[in-house]
């Protein structure tokens, strides 16, 4: 099943993708309303009911008439692993890490799958990193690799947008990974039975229709289940937590630091329409990350620099 969060007619809703439309879940399950994390929490009890509801229902909305939002609006935490594809390690001029390398992204970095990415005032070195993202489904601690699939609610695509000079000016990457809007995810959550083996997914990134990254999740150094087992030794994982599982080679890492920044400042973003064809899984936009076989799972344009502001409340 593909589960989406979207806005239609001024309301935020949850829905299940059915064909070219969405079956609204909130009006059928009022307890979850528009909160995907609440749906994840009760999924063991309502999942089979939701499946039957979707099978028996006609879509309430057309995908063409809604605005898809980040499926998780406010995750409890966003964890991301670094240097987890061999080609990425090589282009970063690093050695294959003997241990998993983890950093966090601020939850304020969450962004919708088709919403603009802000180019920061503080840097001209904004970069892209297409990734498979795991959504945690069950509260857990000390989970073995063998039982890790039991705690996964689903998957989506994401872009670990990175401000390279801020990332690399110290040994701690968090600031360079946490700029506002720099964690677009979506366009919906694909449940495990729909996705199948998460280690057979093609992963690609395009900038202005030029393919920059092209790999497969089978090349992960530490696979999805390794990552969950390792993280859960240190912290409690909770429903709705996000795990960015690593990016393949093709990022700039300083050899072409303004590739994305220049694309945005030359007007390739907001002035250009997004065009998607979900039938053959092709998409044209100023920025695209995609998981092969499951459509355009993350597509975001580049916007101009954000203005300065202070909340006056």
DSSP codes, 78-118: EEEEES-BHHHHHHTT-PPPSS-EEEE--GGGEE-TTSPEE
Residue 313 lies in a domain: no
CB-hemisphere CA count at 13 Å for 290?
Answer: 24
Structural domain of residue 47, as residue ranges? Answer: 2-69
**Which three-class secondary structure string do you get for 124-142?**
CCEECCEEEEEEECCCECC
Predicted local confidence at residue 292, as pLDDT: 58
Residue 288 lies in a domain: yes
Single residue among 69, 90, 120 that ends a domain in this structure: 69
Q: Is the dihedral of CA 97, 184, 216, 223 positive or negative?
A: positive
- Residue 79's nearest CA partner among 233, 200, 199, 304 is 233
Strand duo 67-69 + 302-303: pairing: unpaired
Task: Rounding to the nearest 10 degrees, give the CA dihedral for residues 142, 148, 154, 156.
Answer: 90
Q: Is 28 found in the same domain as 132?
A: no
Residue 21 lies in a domain: yes
Structure-token pair, residue 275: 């065009």
- Rounded mean pLDDT, 41-69: 96
Question: Residue 63: phi, psi to the nearest 5?
Answer: -55, -30
Residue 310 lies in a domain: no
pTM, rounded to two decimals: 0.86
Q: Is the dihedral of CA 31, 11, 268, 123 positive or negative?
A: negative
Predicted local confidence at residue 211, as pLDDT: 87
pLDDT digits (tens, 9 = 90+) for 161-218: 999 999 999 999 999 999 999 999 999 999 999 999 999 998 888 887 788 899 999 9
pLDDT digits (tens, 9 = 90+) for 171-184: 999 999 999 999 99
Question: Residue 184: phi, psi to the nearest 5?
Answer: -70, 135
Domain count, the chain: 2
Predicted local confidence at residue 209, as pLDDT: 78
- Residue 115's nearest CA partner among 274, 309, 280 is 274
Single residue among 18, 49, 69 that ends a domain in this structure: 69
Q: Is 196 found in the same domain as 159?
A: yes
CB 160 within 8 A of CB 244: yes
pLDDT over 60 (residue 56): yes
């Amino acid at each position: 099943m593909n589960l989406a969060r979207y806005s239609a007619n001024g309301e935020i809703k949850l829905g299940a993708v059915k064909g070219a439309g969405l079956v609204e879940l909130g009006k059928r399950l009022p307890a979850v309303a528009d909160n995907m994390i609440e749906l994840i929490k009760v999924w063991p009890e309502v999942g089979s009911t939701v499946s039957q509801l979707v099978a028996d229902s006609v879509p309430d909305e057309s995908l063409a008439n809604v605005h898809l939002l980040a499926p998780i609006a406010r995750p409890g935490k966003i964890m991301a692993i670094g240097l987890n594809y061999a080609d990425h390690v090589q282009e970063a001029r690093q050695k294959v890490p003997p241990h998993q390398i983890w950093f966090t992204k601020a939850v304020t970095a969450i962004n919708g799958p088709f919403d603009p990415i802000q180019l920061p005032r503080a840097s001209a070195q904004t970069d892209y990193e297409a990734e498979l993202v795991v959504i945690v489904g069950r509260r857990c601690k000390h989970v073995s690799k063998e039982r890790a699939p039991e705690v996964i609610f689903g998957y989506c695509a994401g872009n670990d947008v990175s401000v390279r000079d801020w990332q690399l000016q110290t040994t701690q990457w968090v600031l360079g990974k946490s700029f506002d809007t720099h964690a677009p995810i979506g366009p919906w959550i694909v449940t495990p039975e729909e996705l199948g083996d998460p280690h057979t997914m093609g992963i690609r990134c395009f900038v202005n229709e030029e393919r920059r990254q092209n790999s497969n999740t089978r090349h992960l150094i530490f696979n999805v289940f390794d990552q969950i087992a390792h993280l859960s030794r240190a912290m409690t994982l909770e429903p709705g937590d996000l795990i960015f599982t690593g990016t393949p080679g093709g990022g700039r890492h300083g050899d072409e630091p303004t590739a994305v920044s220049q694309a945005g400042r030359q007007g390739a973003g907001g002035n250009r329409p997004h065009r998607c064809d979900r039938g053959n899984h092709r998409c044209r936009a100023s920025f695209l990350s995609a998981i092969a076989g499951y459509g355009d799972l993350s597509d975001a344009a580049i916007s101009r620099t954000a203005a300065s502001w202070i909340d006056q409340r």
